[in-house]
Each structure stands twice: as C-alpha cells, then as structure tokens.
Amino acid sequence: MPRPSDVFLTLWDLAVSGALWTNLAPSLMRLLVGSTIGATVGIAVGVMIGLFSFARAGLVPLVAAIFPIPKIALLPLFVIWFGIDEASKYALIAFGTFTPTVVSTYGAVDNVDRSLIRMGQSFGLRWSTVVFRIVLPGAMPGILSGLRVSLAIAIILLVAAEMLGAEYGIGAYILQAGSLYDLERLFAGVTILSMLGVLLSTAVGAVEKHVLGWRT
C-alpha cells in the first residue's frame, strides 16, 4: 500500500505538471455528453411510461430486459457501431445512465399525486402544461435522487470506456499506472474518481436545495 502522503504528492505533481487537466478534461467532457444524453432520454422515456399505459406495456419489459445487462460487456459492440473514438464512449455512458434514470423517473411520475393531474385536466390546461408544470415538478424529488445513482454509474462506465482505447482520461491514466504496478499513481487516479463522485453528488444536492425548497 502506498502511503497517503505519497499519493498526495503524486496528485500534487499531476496538478503542477498539467497532466491532471490533460486527463481530466476529456473525462469530464465524456461524462457530460454521455450522461446528459442518457439522463435526458431517460427522463423523457420515464415520463412516457409513467403517463401512458401503452408506453408502459411496451417499454417496461424492454427496460427490465436491458437493465441487468452489464453495459461494459457491450463496449466492443459500441466500438463496432460508433468507432473507437469519442462516440462509442458517449454511447456507453449514455446507455448506462439511461436505464436507471428511466426506472427512477417512471417511479417518480407514478408517485405524483393524481389529484393534481386531475385538477389540471379539470381546469382545461393544455397537455404540455400538465406535463411540464405539474407532472415534472411533482416527480422532481424522485428524478433527482435517481440522478445521483445514474451519475455514479456514469463514472464507473467512464473509466471502463477509457480503459479501452483512450489516449487521455482518468481511466486511461489508471490503466497505465496499473499495468506498471505504480500504486501511487493508481491511487491518485482512484482518488480523483472519488472526488469526482463527491463533486457530482454535491452538485445534485445543490440543485435539490434550489429546486425542492418547497418541500420542507
């Protein structure tokens, strides 16, 4: 085991030499693009499932079927479809965040107080207003707590994707360190991942505080 102080020094070197940013920037980009696509589509599909029984009948079994597939196992497939470059990484992360987001959104929409939706309909509100002003805000607590899970999964998949054919990125950095048994750098990389996780979770917390202030 490397000593914590050595890991810290390695981190420091990384930061000073600029290598930290060289690796972090592409990782953040992949995380951002992949999870944005996955979460957006996931929320849209989850809302559809929650609102329409025909969508529920068709999509729930489909989601149940793809949820347990380890998405990492599909990486070679994505590489064939989207090439070895960024697109396949985006696709993997998007796909991995999509399923948990669908499941949590669908549950959250299902839990929205039906009397509020009935109220909207009885006042003759447009369909889009009912969805965007009643259903989505009502489902927001569940969607955001689902997002915490989805983003953690996104980090895991990010690393996996970067271990296969990425020049730069936290995952590539860790893989390199691992193959050289350079434990200090390995731990430095893992520390960065953990910090990324904490950062994302804090960000979701801040959004929750801002958006869900009406709750408490």
Partner 1 sequence: MELRLEGVSHRYGDVEVIRNIDLSIPKGRIVCIVGPSGCGKSTLLRFLGGLERPTSGSVSQVGEPPSDSINPLTYVFQDFALLPWRTVEGNISLILSDHGVPKKEAEDIITDVLARTKLSDFRKALPKQLSGGMKQRVAIARALAVNPAVLLMDEPLSALDSQTRELLMDDLVDLWTRAPFTAVYVTHNLAEAVRLGHQIVVLSRRPGAINEIVEIDTPLAERSSADPDLERTQQHLWALMRAEAEAADMELIDD
CA dihedral in degrees (213, 103, 162, 188; nearest 10)? 50
194 contacts partner 1 (rule: CB under 8 A)? no
Stretch binding partner 1 (CB under 8 A), from 12-20, 44-52, 118-126, 179-187: 118-126
For the record, the structure tokens of 191 come out as 């520390």
123 contacts partner 1 (rule: CB under 8 A)? yes
111 contacts partner 1 (rule: CB under 8 A)? no
134 contacts partner 1 (rule: CB under 8 A)? yes
116 contacts partner 1 (rule: CB under 8 A)? yes
Find out whether 31 and 152 touch, Cβ atoms under 8 Å.
no
Find the angle CA(182)-CA(185)-CA(189) to the nearest 5 degrees: 135
Stretch binding partner 1 (CB under 8 A), from 10-18, 89-97, 103-111, 132-140: 132-140
Which residue lies nearer to partner 1 by CB, 68 or 124?
124
Which of positions 137-166 make contact with partner 1 (CB under 8 A)? 137-138
For the record, the structure tokens of 42 come out as 């996931």
For the record, the structure tokens of 176 come out as 């390199």
Helices then strands, each counted (H, E), the chain: 10, 0
Which residues contribute to the site for partner 1 (CB under 8 A)?
113, 115-116, 118-119, 121-126, 129, 133-134, 137-138, 212, 214-215
